[in-house]
Amino acid sequence: MSDNQLRIVWVYPDLLSTYGDQGNVLVVERRARQRGLDVARLDVRSDQPIPTSGDIYLIGGGEDRPQRLAAERLLRDGHLFQAVNNGAIVFAVCAGYQILGHEFVNDVGQRQPGLGLLDVTTVRGEGERCVGDVLADIDPRLGLPALTGFENHQGVTHLGPTARPFARVQLGKGNGTGDGTEGAYNDTVFGTYMHGPVLARNPLIADLLLKLALDVNALPPTDDRWYEALRNERISAAQQPA
Ligand code: GLN
């Protein structure tokens, strides 16, 4: 973090913001301000260069065609690599997650290169689309409570040896490979299929991103009663028989 200001970058809201994932930016921003941090939020449209000076980059989900355009532009832009090399944190959802991988199958059925920031590859699932509430256990190394989210994707994501599964599903499909994994991460780069928005349902993930950005082990506590109510409601919804 430079100048004592936390810079949150919301990547391509014009292409990757169809599923309410913008809520993730609001949650990170609010929780940072609650801790007294000076926060700058930068919304970067797909016709603008990605800044390299961000601390936390958030990327949302999107439909297949905008996903193709977003991947092309991010790859051409190249600045997200630079930011990650400088130690930036990236948290990406669904289409954004797929774009972080080596490749995915796009809207015209072609294998398209992603950014290769995560050791994952996405193919088009042959079965039904994965849709519904998910309940999962986050990798215990991250010390976080259960993950609640909503998934809606056709893509099936396979993890390579250097990506760790972000979570293991109790209910729902996650990466869709049948091995129970959901999402992937590697140092400071995180991908998940969870919408919700996922950081509104799991505010301690937002705090993890803040702790990584600030390089601290703990943050002052916040009043999380509203978040808890939302979490409990969505967790019981996931547990209802379909
Ligand atoms: N188009 C991608 C898929 O269906 C991602 C969808 C999304 O972001 N919700 O797999």
Tell me, using a 6 A CB cutoff, whether residue 23 lines ligand 1: no
pLDDT tens digit sequence for 72-124: 999 999 999 999 999 999 999 999 999 999 999 999 999 999 999 999 999 99
- List the structure tokens of 63: 């439909």
pLDDT of residue 189: 98
Can you count the helices (H) and strands (E) in the chain?
Answer: 7, 13
Q: Please say whether the beta carbons of 135 and 239 come within 8 A.
A: yes
Q: What is the mean pLDDT of residues 119-136?
A: 96
Q: What is the CB-side half-sphere exposure of residue 145 using CA atoms within 13 A?
A: 14
Question: What does pTM read for this prediction?
Answer: 0.97
Pocket test for ligand 1, best of 15, 64, 93 (most atoms within 8 A of CB): 64
Whether ligand 1 lies within 6 angstroms of the CB of 65 is answered as no
* Whether pLDDT at 2 is above 80: no
Residue 15 CA, chain-centre distance (Å), reads 15
pLDDT at site 19: 86
Mean pLDDT of the chain: 96
Active-site residue 130, yes or no?
A: no
Distances (CA, A) of 127 to 33, 105, 113, 131, 160: 43, 15, 23, 12, 22
Confirm or reject: Cβ of 79 under 6 Å from ligand 1.
no
6-239: CATH number: 3.40.50.880
Residue 195 falls in the annotated catalytic set: yes
User: For position 45, what pLDDT does the model report?
Assistant: 98
Average pLDDT of the residues in 56-62: 98
| Confidence at 205, pLDDT banded by 50, 70, 90 | very high
| Percent of the chain residues topping a pLDDT of 70 | 99
pLDDT at 1 over 80: no
Query: Would you tell me the crossing angle of helices 203-214 and 22-34 to the nearest 10 degrees?
Result: 60
What's the pLDDT at 79? 98
Between strands 181-186 and 164-171, the pairing is antiparallel
Query: What is the pLDDT confidence band of residue 154, given thresholds at 50, 70 and 90?
Result: very high
- 3 alpha carbon to ligand 1 midpoint, in Å? 37
Environment class of 167 (CB within 10 Å of its CB; exposed 0-12, middle 13-18, buried 19+)? buried
Residue 129 is labelled as binding a ligand: yes
DSSP string for residues in 154-196:
-EEEEE-TTPEEEEEEEES-TTSSSS-EEEEEETTEEEE--BS
| Interval 17-48: pLDDT, tens | 888 999 999 999 999 999 999 999 999 999 99
**Residue 240: what pLDDT?**
87
Q: Does residue 94 have its Cβ closer than 6 Å to ligand 1?
A: yes
Cα gap 33→89, rounded to integer Å: 18
Cα(171) to centroid of ligand 1, in Å? 19
Alpha helices for the chain (secondary structure H): 22-34, 64-77, 79-85, 95-100, 198-201, 203-214, 225-239
Residue 210: per-residue pLDDT: 98
Asked if the model's pLDDT at residue 16 lies above 80, the reply is yes
d(CA 32, CA 4): 12
For position 209, what pLDDT does the model report? 98
Domain boundaries in the chain?
Answer: 6-239
